[in-house]
Structure 1
Amino acid sequence: MTDCQGDGEGASTPMELYERLGAQGDKVRSLKSAKAEKVEIDAAVQQLLMLKMDYKKMTGQDYKAGCPPSEDMAAANNGPAADGASEEDTVDPWNVSTTNAKGVDYDKLIVRFGSSKIDKELVDRIEKVCGQKPHRFLRRGVFFSHRDMHQVLDAYEKHKSFYLYTGRGPSSEAMHVGHLIPFIFTKWLQDVFDIPLVIQLTDDEKYLWKDLTVEECHRFAIENAKDIIACGFDLNKTFIFSDLDYMGACPEFYRNVVKIQKHVTFNQVKGIFGFTDSDCIGKISFPAIQAAPSFSNSFPHIFGSRKDIQCLIPCAIDQDPYFRMTRDVAPRIGYPKPALLHSTFFPALQGAQTKMSASDANSSIFLTDTPKQIKNKINKHAFSGGKDTVEEHRKYGGNADVDVSFMYLTFFLEDDEELEKIRQDYTSGALLTGELKKKLIETLQPMIAQHQERRKQVTDETVKQFMTPRPLNFNL
């Protein structure tokens, strides 16, 4: 269990949960009075908030200290959750699940994680600063949350540049379309702001978490790099690195890892990531390795000894715990806090309740799929928001909010007006599920085919060029 979840799960009665809340409140107060590390206090507060949400779910009322639950509240525990409240979403770097067919409640997640919503004002400001129409991921809320993006734009307007950092955990040879989301957006950011980019391949992480050999993880990293390069990144502005290679080749990077490790306690990583005493020590120390690329002097071949260049990290929201930790440590070791742009999750074909699995071939469209496989997967497995019969669908219409084909079009169909017309036609019943699936097939088949063509052009020599530490062309 991570800091993203409450631990009211084991409480069988409102009174038990009430007592647990009291104890957690005492813990928060004692940490504050002892002037504990901020990240440790934040983790305890998050747990307190989760318990309060569990209490509200169980009793239908807000928790109040000194007001124990009545028997009426206890009876409510046997009925449906108050106010139609659903089970709490699970979101951490390794697990994402929800009981809601529409997917994770991102507004609640913003509150839980303490980030800021990407509103129309910010999207308009990005358009003004970069002089380009905002990417469809911004226009449609695919990237929905941020930390310090206004600060990045303030600095950029004063001709103070920044750099980009994103990554990939290479757990298999084949990537799926969901894996492309951060890279498609990062390429757009690189192009419009004309800035350098570092891409971390965490092959060390996959070795620690998965039943794979070191050699397999490193090979997957190289194969994944080919798919990433095929997204069209500029060789002169992009450095891709494998942790297993770079950690031993760059003393400055490892020094930053050690600095971060020194400033994060075992209790803190347990609170943030939910590690237990039975986890290997490699897992406990890994977060410092994912944090290190947030600091510019981890890349001396690009930035020299400069440590004042701010980093912007586009990533899925499940990676945020790593960077909450990083942002807490940064000022204590003399570095600027990284800024973040968070994306929503790309839904599995079977529905938005879970993330896709690279181990389940039918849970997504893979970048290696043939046109026939794409067609068959969508027709057979894509969860539909349509009605059971054509007559019912024509009469009542479909639900675009839970329909996976429509969700996928939201990610990949460029034309806003066409997308809105599809939504209206599907909702009114004018467009049938089969026709909606056909539109998705016609959108994805050429997109995947073009990606495969570009990937064929990526040779081992090309990968070596991208992964060789070297100066990059940019103006900072």
Structure 2
Amino acid sequence: MITPWEVSGEVDYDRLIQEFGIEPFKPLLDQIDNPMHLMKRGIIFGHRDYHRIVEAMRNGDKFAVMSGFMPSGLPHFGHKMTMDEIVWHNRMGGMAFVGIADMEAHAVRRLSWKKTREIGMEYIKAIIALGLDENSVIYFQSANERVKNLAFELAEEVNWSELKAIYGFDGETTLAKMFVTSVQAGDILLPQLAFYGGPKPTVVPVGADQDPHIRLTRDLAARVSIFAFERLDNGVRIRSRKGREYLERLKDLDFEMKFYEEHVDVFAPPDEVESRVRELEVSIGGYAFVPPSSTYHRFITGLQGGKMSSSKPESFISLLDPPEVAGEKVKRALTGGRATAEEQRRLGGQPEKCVIFELYTIHLLDDRELEEVEGDCREGRLLCGKCKKMAVERVESFLRELQERMDEVEGRLDMYNIIS
């Protein structure tokens, strides 16, 4: 079962790609200059429309990166993965938006507003300490009037039957939990409001459990925009969702075009056409949203197996854990070792089944170190005891440095654009 609020059982990523139309990420790698390690190592396994972001990075065009965190528990290494993706896109030129989903935590987990704020600030300090720049937009959902107003507008386009089909809601689902889905859509589309510079490609790095929000938001982005686009061999077919009179406005654009009763065919480079038409829509009061792009990363395994989850303290290493406490958790983590040291020397280890090796892959080692550890493990030269000892040292060292930076960040939070 995979929903935005619950993940259980074995996750079949190939099945997710096939059933929900997620595209494999690997074919894009050669098009990205200096891709981040999560891309190269297959941790980011899929995407929707990420080519828009690749083109924006390559051409130096404006784009945004947006994701959020539900403050239902302390930030941990699973959250760090998303934080690293946001920071990487931010460094590649994207304007960063970070939402603290306190409305979701309040509605779904029944946490008090005071508690969601207290926990939410820890997420904020952590992502800033990891390198988020000062021009980023950081906010709590409950304090962001633009998000809530947009959510209300988007909610007009969704009915109960659709929410039931997407999320599996039933007669026991509260209205607040249902409304949170439109708030999430408001989060995702926030970077494209006129206040933040208007329509632009926006990537949302998430785990596969959040794909229902992406699918709904992509549909809503189209429903609330005036013009719809269909690529042709020699141009773009444009339709209006708001009536024939809007198609007449296209005559103001200097393109070769042919008018029909229900659409207009424009014969010019598609990217240029769509950009100009979106500018026109914004000028007449429309949204002109670009369908949001997304990347999907694999779930990080809990220390004792299963998914790392804030609701299961034994499953995660918190970014706030005292380093020595985190070290003890690492010592108890599952490994891919054999039954005995002799057997492991003879047969080699199984890093693909090892929580420690996953920590190395996602968080702790560079490419050269990772290759060396994997080779030594598979050949039986590296036993689990020595490997865990190194992991303990790396985790403790990382947490000491991060927590020092978080303490330093706390003294300069007023330099950031935090809506709280």
Q: TM-score interval w.r.t. the shorter chain?
A: 0.7 to 0.9
1:281 corresponds to: 175
Query: Which position in structure 2 is the counterpart of 1:324?
Result: 215
Which secondary structure does the structure 1 equivalent of 2:66 belong to? strand
Corresponding residue for residue 369 of structure 1: 321
The residue number in structure 2 matching 1:187 is 87
1:345 CA drift (Å)? 0.7
The C-alpha deviation readout for 1:298-348, integer Å capped at 9, x for no partner, is: 655432xx2x22211111121111010111121121122100111111110
SS for the counterpart of 1:241 is strand
Instruction: Tell me how far apart the structure 2 counterparts of residues 357 and 341 of structure 1 sit (CA, whole Å).
Output: 20
Unaligned runs of at least 5 residues, structure 1: 1-89, 128-132, 470-476
Higher strand share: 2
Q: Which TM-score applies when normalising by structure 1?
A: 0.71
Shift of 1:287: 0.8
- Select the residue among 206, 224, 227 that pairs with 1:315: 206
Distance, in Å, in 2 between the alignment partners of 1:241 and 1:294 is 13
Identity of aligned residues (%): 30
Residue in structure 1 matched with residue 137 of structure 2 by the alignment: 239
- CA gap of 1:463–1:138, structure 2 versus 1, over 3 A, is farther
Which runs of no fewer than 5 residues in structure 2 stay unpaired? Answer: 226-288
The residue type equivalent to 2:298 in the other structure is: T
- Indicate conservation of the 8 Å contact 1:348/1:355, yes or no: yes
Within the alignment, does 1:221 sit opposite 2:120 as a pair?
yes
How far apart, in 2, do the equivalents of 1:295 and 1:175 lie? Answer: 24
Q: 2:65 aligns with which of 142, 157, 164?
A: 164
User: Taking structure 1 as reference, are residues 302 and 328 closer, same or farther at Cα in structure 2, changes over 3 Å only?
Assistant: closer
Report the 3-state secondary structure (helix = DSSP H, G, I; strand = E; otherwise coil) of the residue aligned with 2:352: coil
Corresponding position of 2:76: 176
Q: Which amino acid aligns with 2:8?
A: S
CA distance in 1, matches of 2:149, 2:113: 23
Q: Does 1:98 align with 2:9?
A: yes
- 1:41-440, aligned counterparts within 5 Å? 90-99=1-10, 104-119=11-26, 121-127=27-33, 133-172=34-73, 174-192=74-92, 194-236=93-135, 238-247=136-145, 250=146, 253-296=147-190, 299-303=193-197, 306=198, 308-334=199-225, 335-351=289-305, 354-380=306-332, 382-440=333-391
Secondary structure of 2:131's counterpart equals coil
Structure 2 length as normaliser, TM-score? 0.80
Cα distance in 1 between the residues matched to 2:55 and 2:320: 41
Structure 2 CA distance for partners of 1:142 and 1:283, relative to 1, 3 Å: same
Partner deviation per Cα, 1:147-195 (whole Å, 9 max, x = no partner): 01113333554553211111100113x3111111011121111112x22
- Contact 1:261–1:285, Cα closer than 8 Å, also in 2: yes
Instruction: Find the aligned partners of 1:177 and 1:313 in 2 and give their Cα distance.
Output: 19
Answer yes or no: is the 8 Å Cα contact 2:299–2:308 preserved in 1: no
Structure-2 change in CA distance of 1:123 and 1:326 (3 Å)? same
Residues 97-155 of structure 1, C-alpha deviations (whole Å, 9 max, x = no match): 234xxxx3222221122110011x4112111xxxxx22111110111111011133335
Tell me the SS of whatever aligns to 1:376.
helix
Aligned length: 357
1:443 and 1:206 map into 2 onto residues whose CA distance is 32
For residues 151 and 102 of structure 2, the distance between their equivalents in structure 1, rounded to whole angstroms, comes to: 16
Alpha-carbon distance in structure 1 between the residues aligned to 2:95 and 2:56? 16
Q: Per the alignment, do residues 284 and 384 of structure 1 end up closer, same or farther by CA in structure 2, a change over 3 Å counting?
A: same
Q: CA-atom RMSD, angstroms?
A: 2.0
Cα distance, 1:211–1:332 mapped onto 2, change above 3 Å: closer
Report how far residue 222 of structure 1 moved: 2.3
Deviations, residues 388-441 of structure 1 (Å, cap 9, x unaligned): 211122122221111110111111234223212211221222211111212212
Q: Provide Cα deviations, 1:256-292, integer angstroms capped at 9, x if missing partner.
A: 2122111111111111111111111011111111111
1:228 match: secondary structure: helix
Q: Give the stretch that moved more between structures: 204-213 or 288-297.
A: 288-297
What's the secondary structure of 2:42's corresponding residue?
Answer: coil
